[in-house]
């Protein structure tokens, strides 16, 4: 039996988009309640061990308080620095110990930093962030049951795990970072509050997916060329006066009309150079890297990104094999 990992980001669902847009606030109390329901789901199936990342809000300790659990809940023995590297290091530790999956509570940005360390361990994501195209709003109890069937080997990983693409950012010949959903080039010159909400600063947008129903910058691709995560290509959009204008929900409650100068598909394995300029690169909604006119920055679509558990398929396969029947 394999252990299950849990990484809950106490900062997700609390950024500046609560002030400039109408993003939902997900409290750490609700995150603790979600983790509790996940643990109850795991416990009901007989999973023996779960490992939780330590965090400044003590989400894990609030989750297990008076929960009457049989499952052994452990904290990862890692230093806590209260920065995103905590999630990356925790994911790497869970991958080394052979976790069945890593349950992630956060938005696209949280899943991005977890994906940087998770290796071959699949993610099972619970949306508690702002822009959530990579992860979905799912009930924690079902997440616990789905993770349990993975840990117990009730379903075969090859049948319920899918590999998602990423956008790789390169600076010259040096690999810099990844994005799971969207990479935005902005004329803003400072990382600042990290989130981007001012559409007037947009210059270029790269996407791994642009499915109708998503919110955030991936919504720009809906009306141009809808793409799904498992399609063998991404999308590159140049912002500016041109033939098209797209009305898109770039953040919760923030619907803007964006002029589109041009767009093209980005096939797997191919790279596109970012137009030289001063500005910043935002990854999955958060400003991360500055650049100058002299920097040679390229974006590559890589279909071999993190693995993710298809929760509905995992539960469906377990049900078909009668693992939820008693007697």
- Locus of tokens 């997700």: 12
Q: Are residues 155 and 191 in the same domain?
A: no
Q: Are residues 131 and 251 in the same domain?
A: no
Give mean pLDDT, residues 275-302: 93
Give mean pLDDT, residues 168-179: 96
Distance CA 7, CA 91 (A): 8
Q: pLDDT class for 20, splitting at 50, 70, 90?
A: very low
Tell me whether residue 253 is in a domain.
Answer: yes
Q: Are residues 49 and 97 in the same domain?
A: yes
Residue ranges making up the domain that contains 15: 4-164+306-320
Pairing type for strands 123-127 and 72-75 reads: unpaired
pLDDT over 90 at 208, yes or no: yes
Q: pLDDT class for 19, splitting at 50, 70, 90?
A: very low
How high is the mean pLDDT of the chain? 90
pLDDT in tens, 233-281: 999 999 999 988 999 998 888 899 999 999 999 999 899 999 998 999 9
Q: Are residues 23 and 160 in the same domain?
A: yes
Distance CA 285, CA 252 (A): 12
Tell me whether residue 326 is in a domain.
Answer: no
Contact 1, 149 (CB under 8 A): no
Tell me whether residue 327 is in a domain.
Answer: no
Give mean pLDDT, residues 170-176: 96
pLDDT in tens, 127-147: 886 557 888 889 999 999 999
Tell me whether residue 113 is in a domain.
Answer: yes
The pTM for the full model equals: 0.91
Please give the helix or strand (H or E) that residue 157 lies within, else none.
helix 157-160
Those residues with Cβ within 8 angstroms of residue 176's Cβ, 6 or more apart along the chain or in another chain: 169, 170, 289, 297
Q: Are residues 227 and 311 in the same domain?
A: no
Contact 220, 248 (CB under 8 A): yes
Q: Are residues 75 and 193 in the same domain?
A: no
Tell me whether residue 325 is in a domain.
Answer: no
Q: Are residues 152 and 54 in the same domain?
A: yes
Task: Find the CATH number of the domain harbouring 186.
Answer: 2.60.200
Distance CA 122, CA 244 (A): 38
Q: Are residues 75 and 139 in the same domain?
A: yes
Burial readout 150-175 (b: 16 or more C-beta within 10 A, e: otherwise): bbbebbeeeebbeebbbbbbbeeeee
Q: Are residues 11 and 133 in the same domain?
A: yes
Tell me whether residue 134 is in a domain.
Answer: yes
Tell me whether residue 138 is in a domain.
Answer: yes
Q: pLDDT class for 81, splitting at 50, 70, 90?
A: confident
Residue 131 pLDDT = 55
Q: How many domains are contained in the chain?
A: 2
Tell me whether residue 296 is in a domain.
Answer: yes
Q: Are residues 150 and 22 in the same domain?
A: yes
Residue 11 pLDDT = 75
Nearest to 282 by CA among 270, 272, 290: 290
Count of beta carbons in the 10 Å neighbourhood of residue 327: 2
Q: ∠ CA(310), CA(41), CA(314), 5° rounding?
A: 20
pLDDT over 70 at 311, yes or no: yes
Q: Are residues 174 and 205 in the same domain?
A: yes
Residue 243 pLDDT = 84
Q: Are residues 232 and 158 in the same domain?
A: no
More confident residue, 123 or 16: 123
Q: Specify the 3-state DSSP secondary structure of 151.
A: helix
Q: pLDDT class for 22, splitting at 50, 70, 90?
A: low
pLDDT over 70 at 213, yes or no: yes
């Amino acid at each position: 039996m394999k252990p299950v990992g849990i990484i809950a980001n106490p900062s997700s669902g609390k950024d500046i988009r609560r002030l400039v847009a109408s993003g939902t606030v997900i409290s750490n109390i609700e995150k603790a309640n979600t983790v509790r329901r996940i643990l109850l789901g795991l416990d009901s199936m007989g999973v023996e061990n779960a490992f939780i990342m330590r965090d400044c809000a003590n989400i894990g300790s609030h989750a297990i308080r008076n929960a009457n659990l049989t499952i052994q809940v452990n904290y990862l023995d890692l230093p806590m620095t209260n920065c995103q590297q905590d999630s990356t290091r925790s994911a790497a530790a869970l991958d080394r110990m052979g976790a069945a999956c890593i349950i992630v509570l956060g938005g696209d940005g949280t899943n991005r930093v977890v994906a940087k360390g998770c290796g071959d361990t699949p993610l099972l994501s619970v949306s508690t962030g702002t822009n959530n195209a990579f992860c979905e709003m799912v009930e924690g109890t079902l997440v616990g049951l789905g993770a349990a069937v993975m840990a117990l080997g009730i379903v075969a990983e090859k049948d319920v795990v899918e590999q998602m693409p990423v956008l790789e950012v390169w600076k010259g010949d040096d690999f810099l970072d990844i994005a799971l959903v969207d990479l935005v080039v902005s004329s803003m010159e400072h990382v600042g509050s990290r989130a981007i909400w001012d559409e007037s600063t947009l210059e270029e947008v790269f996407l791994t997916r642009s499915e109708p129903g998503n919110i955030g910058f991936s919504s720009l691709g809906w009306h141009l060329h809808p793409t799904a995560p498992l399609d063998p290509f991404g999308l590159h959009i140049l912002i500016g006066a041109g033939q098209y204008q797209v009305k898109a929900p770039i953040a919760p409650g923030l619907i803007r009309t964006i002029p589109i100068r041009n767009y093209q598909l980005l096939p797997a394995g191919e790279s596109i150079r970012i137009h030289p300029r001063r500005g910043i690169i935002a990854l999955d909604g958060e400003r991360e890297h500055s650049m100058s006119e002299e920097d040679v920055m390229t974006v590559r679509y890589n279909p071999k990104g993190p693995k993710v558990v298809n929760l509905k398929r995992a539960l469906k396969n377990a049900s078909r094999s009668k693992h939820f029947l008693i007697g």
